[in-house]
Amino acid sequence: MDYKKLLKYSAVLIFSIFLMNYLALRFHWYFSIWYFDMLMHFLGGIWLGFISIYLFNFDSGSKKSFFNIIVAVFVVGVGWEIFEIVVNAYTTENAFNFLDTISDLFFDTAGGVFALLYFLKKNSC
């Protein structure tokens, strides 16, 4: 897979994420479908993984490149969780949920790992 195709996949994926989020907010899927948040974090992790592969010019033979991409996905996930905590505290007054935060970070990172493995598989063929 070349980097141009990776950008196309990223564009389609982010558009899909935005569309799914719009529908989820409109139809209350985050509250009625218990795993929907996990799916969205996983897809977001894949998108972040693809973008990180592109931005860091991923070298498939380098363990350092692999590590940098996973750390980048994790750091953005932590930033997103901080944003969610702040927004929830000031708008919905939902209590902080440690288990939900850990789950979200796990699925963000799992999505990033999936993106790397997918990219490696496509490049080895």
For the cut 90, the answer to whether the pLDDT of residue 80 exceeds it is yes
For the cut 80, the answer to whether the pLDDT of residue 61 exceeds it is no
Which of 48, 50, 47, 44 has the alpha carbon at shortest distance from 24? Answer: 44
Higher local confidence (pLDDT), 87 or 20: 20
pLDDT in the model for residue 76 = 97
Lowest mean pLDDT among 1-15, 41-55, 57-71: 57-71
21: which 2 tokens?
Answer: 């989020």
| C-beta separation of 73 from 108 below 8 A | yes
Computed over every residue of the chain, the mean pLDDT equals: 91
pLDDT in the model for residue 69 = 92
Higher local confidence (pLDDT), 5 or 27: 27
Which of 54, 13, 45 has the alpha carbon at shortest distance from 111? Answer: 45
